[in-house]
Chains A and B, each alone.
Chain A
Amino acid sequence: MSGDGDSRIITVMITLEFHDPSGAIEVTQRFAPRITTLQGKRVGFVSNDQWQAFRMLPLLKKLFEADFPGIEVLPIDAFPQGNAVIGSEETAAQVKQSGVDAVIIGNAA
């Protein structure tokens, strides 16, 4: 050091700029609007018949019926069941034609 009071240490920072690799997400359709109340409504299940759905969905049906007077919860077999069919346009059409106000889909694991 020279001792003249001008001995500053200069640090040069290395900058790396790179692309976010995750790709963009496009939202092309919106979720169905929620219903304001469950009382007096018609609710259906679309089941893949896997992962204990045969036990859990009937339990849910009982809970809904106990907690919401006037609700109609369709049986779990009201619509086609199984992974092979629940994603089909035919199943979707059946659900729409049934006039349900809301649908619960299960189970996934």
Chain B
Amino acid sequence: MTNAVAGLGLAPDAAMVTFPIEMFLPGSDISPVEARKREFYDGLTQWRSAFAGDGGAQSPMITVQGASIEDAFSRANNLMLANRWGDGLPLWPPTRERVDWILRGATQPRGRRIGIFPPRGGVTTVETCAIALAMAGGRPEYLPVLVAAVDAFLDPESGSAQLQAASGSAFPVVIVNGPIGAQIRLNSGFGCLGPDPQRPAGASIGRALRLLQQNVGGALPGIGTMANYGGVRYTNVVFAEDEANLPRGWATHAAERHAYAPGQNSISLAFANGATNIRRRGAKKETPEEDALQGMYRMADFMRVPNMPGLSGYEHGTPGILMIPGVVANTMAGLGWTKASIREFLWEQSRIPTEHLRRAGCPAWIEIDSSKVVRESIALDPWPITASPDNFIVVVAGGGHPTNSYWLQGYSPGVVGRTVDVPASFEGLLVEAERDLGPTATA
């Protein structure tokens, strides 16, 4: 709550009376309200904000000393954890030299204000992004994607102001289109949602975004974010669409969702709060047509659950992101499937019978939703999990193997796109990356 009021431009110490969570549950003992009634009275009459500063100045520099490089590095990491700036993994101290190096990837002045990070309201600049990227082990050529992702994150359409603090454990998903994906070593193939020393960009960019969410946005577990589980938050999800294996005639995600031209560097940001593998391949003597159709049913069946995160993006957002490997996409394209027909199929086949909604108590959530479209959807039986087939995101990504697809369950009021600008020195940064990291992987 203190974060929330700070995010509104108020001092971050509002008059509040707080109780353990048990009192907010059905059937609870609410007698503590009476026992502490004086705090309510004082909050309206006696309370004064203790926040003195306006905080508009530059972030200060911090100094640690150690008897050796190892000792100084250790002390810096300890200090960052003590200040609640870390994630438990080693951090690269964002020294002036390292941050200046990262800023070689900037296209705008370091002090250019991108926005305020919800819910705490920390002022976010290009330099703030560079500091986070330095801490996350990033490189200059990653900065354009991070800055674009942060800009999208801070767009009110993304819903980040609510999702940063909400209990539903949302994490941002950043889909990258355009040549920059391969250029900066983002993964689009095998293991694209996990660690890969050959393609380390996604981990650094996603971790930097998480550090910004926590350090600047105040989304500290149990304090600034009430996320029950917080899964996938070490690195969030940052990957590139596998455009090299996109079937002929299939448009990129960026073109379909944001109308960006082919070859345009861009990012697309949505929120998810679930991630699961779906085994889609057949096991016996299926024909190609049967194999494709059975896999589609398996995916739709997985989506047909009375689980309510899709409500937040019912009208304009997304119920989720379906990732299909290029080899599967090309086989399906050969059978006549398109991204649009896949979305139509999923929309029809993931509808939930009203009786299933009712027995799970879902109508109450639908009835209190702020969206008229959501409230009126209760009349539909079977109930579509999203207002339009177009809301499904279908992306070609994942290793060249036909067995699995992947579903990132959406929890996303909007899907926000941004083009990515690179500095004039970008080619030089890529040459330096090749010098530092070796040639880009080909497999």
Q: Do A and B bind each other?
A: yes
Residues of B near A14 (CB, < 8 A) are 65-69, 71-72
Does B211 lie at the interface of the complex (its beta carbon under 8 Å from any beta carbon of A)? yes
Residues of B near A27 (CB, < 8 A) are 9-11, 51, 53-55
Task: Tell me the complex Cα distance, A26–B116, Å.
Answer: 9
Residues of A near B33 (CB, < 8 A) are 56, 59-60, 63
- Please report whether the interface of chain A is mostly helix, strand, loop or mixed according to DSSP: loop
Stretch at the interface among B128-136, B170-178, B189-197, B393-401: B128-136
Does A20 lie at the interface of the complex (its beta carbon under 8 Å from any beta carbon of B)? yes
Task: Tell me the complex Cα distance, A52–B121, Å.
Answer: 29
Residues of A near B47 (CB, < 8 A) are 34
**Distance between B386 CB and nearest chain A CB, rounded to angstroms:** 19
Does B276 lie at the interface of the complex (its beta carbon under 8 Å from any beta carbon of A)? no
Task: Tell me the complex Cα distance, A60–B30, Å.
Answer: 10
Residues of chain A in range 1-45 having any CB-CB distance to chain B below 8 Å: 11, 13-31, 34-38, 43
Residue of B nearest to A28 (CB): B9
Does A89 lie at the interface of the complex (its beta carbon under 8 Å from any beta carbon of B)? no
**Distance between A61 CB and nearest chain B CB, rounded to angstroms:** 11
How many residues in A have their beta carbons less than 8 Å from beta carbons of B?
44
Are the CB atoms of B65 and A13 closer together than 8 Å? yes
Residues of A near B83 (CB, < 8 A) are 22
Does B124 lie at the interface of the complex (its beta carbon under 8 Å from any beta carbon of A)? yes
Are the CB atoms of B63 and A52 closer together than 8 Å? no
Does B287 lie at the interface of the complex (its beta carbon under 8 Å from any beta carbon of A)? no
Residues of B near A22 (CB, < 8 A) are 59, 83, 85, 122, 215-216
Contact with A along B47-62 (1 / 0, CB 8 A): 1110101111111111
Stretch at the interface among B89-97, B141-149, B261-269, B434-442: B89-97
Are the CB atoms of A59 and B65 closer together than 8 Å? no
Task: Tell me the complex Cα distance, A17–B60, Å.
Answer: 10
Stretch at the interface among B17-25, B317-325, B344-352, B412-420: B17-25
Does A55 lie at the interface of the complex (its beta carbon under 8 Å from any beta carbon of B)? yes
Does B40 lie at the interface of the complex (its beta carbon under 8 Å from any beta carbon of A)? yes
Are the CB atoms of A16 and B64 closer together than 8 Å? yes
Residues of B near A26 (CB, < 8 A) are 9, 54-56, 116, 121, 123
Task: Tell me the complex Cα distance, A97–B85, Å.
Answer: 44
Residues of B near A85 (CB, < 8 A) are 370
Are the CB atoms of A31 and B93 closer together than 8 Å? no
Task: Tell me the complex Cα distance, A55–B32, Å.
Answer: 12
Are the CB atoms of B9 and A29 closer together than 8 Å? yes
Residues of B near A31 (CB, < 8 A) are 10-11, 14-15, 49
Are the CB atoms of B95 and A84 closer together than 8 Å? no
18 A-B pairs whose Cβ atoms sit less than 8 Å apart in the complex = A11-B67, A13-B65, A14-B66, A14-B69, A15-B65, A16-B95, A19-B95, A20-B59, A21-B94, A24-B123, A31-B14, A52-B28, A59-B30, A63-B33, A67-B37, A67-B41, A83-B370, A109-B21
Task: List the interface of chain A (C-beta within 8 A of B).
Answer: 11, 13-31, 34-38, 43, 51-52, 55-56, 59-60, 63-64, 67, 82-85, 102, 104, 107-109
Name 13 extra pairs, CB < 8 A, besides A13-B65, A25-B55, A102-B44.
A14-B66, A18-B76, A19-B61, A19-B127, A21-B80, A22-B215, A23-B117, A25-B53, A27-B10, A56-B23, A63-B34, A84-B368, A84-B369
